[in-house]
Chains A and B, each alone.
Chain A
Amino acid sequence: EIVMTQSPAALSVSPGERATLSCRASQSVSSNLAWYQQKPGQAPRLLIYGASTRATGIPARFSGSGSGTEFTLTISSLQSEDFAVYYCQQYNNWLYTFGQGTKLEIE
């Protein structure tokens, strides 16, 4: 099983500032990496797939990068609605796994 490790577990950032979230895979997943956003009481929403492609309707302030084992989600200028939990997920094979999540909090 591929283990996905996200860091940090929690991140406090002020609105308007940049947030950088990291995700590491225990072995290479190529670019088969997705990011999701989850707000309290809601189902997750797909943000990024293919490590760097924004899903339909996702604002340009969300960007993804990386390949192999190291990945980054960057939110360029945080809006109030961006404070949530973010998960990475590898889909390199039929044993998909998620990271444990990063909680993005208002500073």
Chain B
Amino acid sequence: EVQLVESGGGLVQPGRSLSLSCAASGFTFDDYDMHWVRQPPGKGLEWVSGISWNSDRMGYADSVKGRFTISRDNAKNSLYLQMNSLRAEDTALYYCVKDGPVAGTGDNWGQGILVIVSS
């Protein structure tokens, strides 16, 4: 069974940094691209960032480009998101997502981790 478990969320002040982690199990991690998708409370989904299976390609939403950095450690079956210069509008539930049957889709999602940016 695929499991994706996010950690590292919490309350942080504007302008500060936070790092999210996602521990993956139940599948061959280094066979798949991975993504972060977020959802502000009561609102819709926003793709944040993605990384290819071998880390040779990464993509970012315009809203986070230059502030967030995605990475992975295939030896540890883990995905990361380093978030710098956080803003109130980054407040959201952050999901770790495994690439699906076609690259760019998400067929397995974590339960999400809440990040609140507030003074």
Contact = CB atoms under 8 A, between A and B. Distances in A.
A binds B: yes
Task: Tell me the dominant secondary structure on chain B's binding face.
Answer: loop
A49 B59 contact: no
Contacts of A67: none
B110 A89 contact: no
Interface stretch (B15-23, B41-49, B71-79, B83-91): B41-49
Chain B CB within 10 Å — which of A36, A45, A46, A50 has the most?
A46
Given A1-B62, A46-B107, A94-B50, A55 B101 contact: yes
B95 interface: yes
B100 interface: yes
Interface in B48-73: 50, 57-59, 61-62
Given A43-B112, A44-B106, A55-B101, A94 B45 contact: no
Given A32-B104, A49-B102, A98 B109 contact: no
Nearest to B101: A49
A60 to B, nearest CB: 17
Interface residues of B, number: 24
Contact of B105 (A43, A91, A101): A91
Interface residues of A, number: 26
B98 to A, nearest CB: 10
A49 B47 CA distance: 16
**Interface SS of chain A:** loop
A89 B112 contact: no
Contacts of B95: 43-44
A95 B59 contact: yes
B99 to A, nearest CB: 10
A95 B61 contact: yes
12 contacts: A34-B100, A34-B102, A34-B105, A38-B45, A43-B109, A44-B45, A46-B100, A46-B106, A50-B102, A55-B101, A89-B105, A100-B44
